[in-house]
């Protein structure tokens, strides 16, 4: 008989539990709690993320069916739908937000040498936001339009490993450019932004901090050319210029020179104009950096398809934010496990296998090595013929 750990427990053993308990104590998460601890709540919600559960009743039914194994999963209390719903609604979501940040701090060094498409040693971030539509009558605390509610996930993605380093959850009315005020610019890092983030006063703050940005220019941006550099037009480049802003307010907000690069995409024949405060990288590298911004769009698509962040187990603001932060924690945790165990395959493939094997006792390295064993060629002469 195999007395090894369950697959779910093997994954969860990578959680820094001391850090988790510190986060719980910081926000007094277990004040007046007798049985169902914050760790039990986290493990139940993580189980729901890994196995794609649909509702609280679904979580309760699946875990109660495996009641003899709950202790080995790390869950020390009986799982009840009402208890879990109350915990999600009452216990401070900042517990799970802080814990997710600690997991991000563990994951980023593991992916520091991960390639991302551009030969650049500096840290590169992509900033964007995605909207999750909700029902206004059920989620009145998240106004968006007159007949619809929504929440918006503002995410700063480290392109090395696609690890989210900053996430801000707001209602749908908050404009994405406002999130720039909450970011602490990292000197020497590159920030890849879409043109919705154009605010020259905020961008100048990044410039003064020693950070670099690459952003799409708007068609009505007023500027005066000072210098032009030679470009290789066969690469799609059309111009590489040093400019000064001439708009009434933009010139006051950003008094320093900017670099303007015009690029014609050979694949789509679309002309793109980029603004950056970096004058040392080749112009073609700047265009390649912006192309990598698409990874944050793929990240949003991935988490919406493979994590439970579009259908929520609770309707309160605290429950929604708790579920999202636990989903982020699970995503980062799987990324940590993948790197530490050197698992083959993508995060999607790993999640699919984990969803089917959480109650098995197979060691992780053996579980995933079996999943990618090549099919053995079978002698066709020993097979029965289906057709004569």
pLDDT in tens, 103-162: 999 999 999 888 888 888 899 999 999 999 999 999 999 999 888 999 999 999 999 989
Our count of domains for the chain comes to 1
In the predicted structure, residue 20 carries a pLDDT above the cut 90: yes
Q: pTM of the full predicted structure? A: 0.90
SS3 133: strand
Q: Which range has the worst mean pLDDT, 2-11, 31-40, 126-135? A: 2-11
- Residue 349 domain-assigned (yes or no): yes
Confidence of residue 287 (pLDDT cuts 50, 70, 90): very high
In the predicted structure, residue 60 carries a pLDDT above the cut 50: yes
- Residue 139 domain-assigned (yes or no): no
Average pLDDT (300-315) is: 90
Separation of alpha carbons 159 and 162, rounded Å:
5
What integer pLDDT is reported at residue 16 of this predicted model? 95
What integer pLDDT is reported at residue 3 of this predicted model? 63
In the predicted structure, residue 78 carries a pLDDT above the cut 60: yes
- Residue 194 domain-assigned (yes or no): no
- Residue 61 domain-assigned (yes or no): yes
Q: Could you tell me how far CA 271 lies from the centroid of its own chain?
A: 29
Q: How many CB atoms lie within 10 A of CB 326?
A: 28
In the predicted structure, residue 341 carries a pLDDT above the cut 60: yes
- DSSP characters for 350-377? HHHHHHHHTT----HHHHHHHHTPPPPP
Confidence of residue 384 (pLDDT cuts 50, 70, 90): very low
Confidence of residue 372 (pLDDT cuts 50, 70, 90): low
In the predicted structure, residue 373 carries a pLDDT above the cut 80: no
SS3 160: coil
- Residue 59 domain-assigned (yes or no): yes
Average pLDDT (308-326) is: 93
Average pLDDT (53-60) is: 92
In the predicted structure, residue 383 carries a pLDDT above the cut 60: no
- Residue 227 domain-assigned (yes or no): no
Average pLDDT (229-251) is: 93
What integer pLDDT is reported at residue 200 of this predicted model? 95
Range of the domain at 90: 7-96+314-360
Reading the block at residue 44, the tokens are 């139940």
- Residue 308 domain-assigned (yes or no): no
- Residue 219 domain-assigned (yes or no): no
């Amino acid at each position: 008989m195999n007395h090894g750990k369950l697959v779910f427990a093997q994954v969860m053993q990578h959680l820094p539990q001391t850090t988790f308990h510190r986060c719980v104590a910081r926000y007094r998460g277990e004040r007046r709690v007798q049985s169902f601890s914050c760790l039990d709540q986290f493990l139940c919600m993580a189980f729901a993320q890994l196995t794609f559960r649909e509702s609280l009743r679904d979580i309760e039914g699946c875990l109660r069916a495996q009641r003899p194994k709950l202790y080995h999963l790390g869950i020390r209390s009986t799982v009840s739908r009402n208890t879990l719903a109350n915990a999600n609604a009452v216990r401070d979501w900042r517990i799970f937000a802080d814990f997710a940040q600690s997991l991000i701090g563990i994951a980023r060094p593991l992916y520091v040498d991960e390639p991302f498409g551009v030969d650049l040693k500096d840290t590169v971030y992509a900033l964007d936001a995605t909207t999750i539509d909700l029902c206004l009558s059920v989620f009145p605390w998240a106004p968006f339009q007159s007949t619809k509610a929504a929440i918006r996930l503002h995410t700063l993605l480290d392109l090395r490993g696609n690890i989210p380093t900053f996430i801000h959850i707001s209602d749908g009315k908050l404009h994405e450019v406002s999130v720039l005020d909450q970011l602490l610019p990292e000197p020497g890092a590159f920030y890849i932004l879409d043109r919705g983030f154009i605010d020259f006063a905020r961008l100048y703050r990044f410039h003064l901090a020693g950070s670099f940005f690459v952003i799409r220019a708007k068609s009505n941006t007023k500027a005066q050319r000072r210098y032009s550099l030679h470009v290789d037009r066969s690469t799609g480049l059309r111009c590489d210029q040093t400019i000064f802003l001439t708009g009434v307010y933009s010139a006051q907000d950003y008094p320093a020179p900017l670099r303007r690069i015009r690029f014609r995409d050979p694949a789509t024949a679309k002309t793109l104009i980029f603004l950056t405060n970096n004058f040392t990288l080749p112009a073609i590298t700047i265009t390649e950096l912006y192309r990598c911004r698409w990874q944050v769009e793929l990240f949003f698509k991935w988490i919406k398809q493979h994590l439970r962040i579009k259908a929520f187990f609770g309707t309160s603001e605290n429950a929604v934010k708790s579920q999202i932060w636990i989903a982020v924690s699970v995503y980062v945790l799987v990324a940590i496990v993948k790197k530490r165990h050197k698992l083959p395959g993508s995060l999607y493939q790993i999640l699919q296998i984990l969803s089917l094997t959480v109650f098995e006792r197979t060691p992780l390295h053996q579980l995933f090595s079996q999943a990618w064993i090549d099919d053995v060629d079978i002698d066709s002469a020993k097979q029965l013929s289906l057709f004569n």
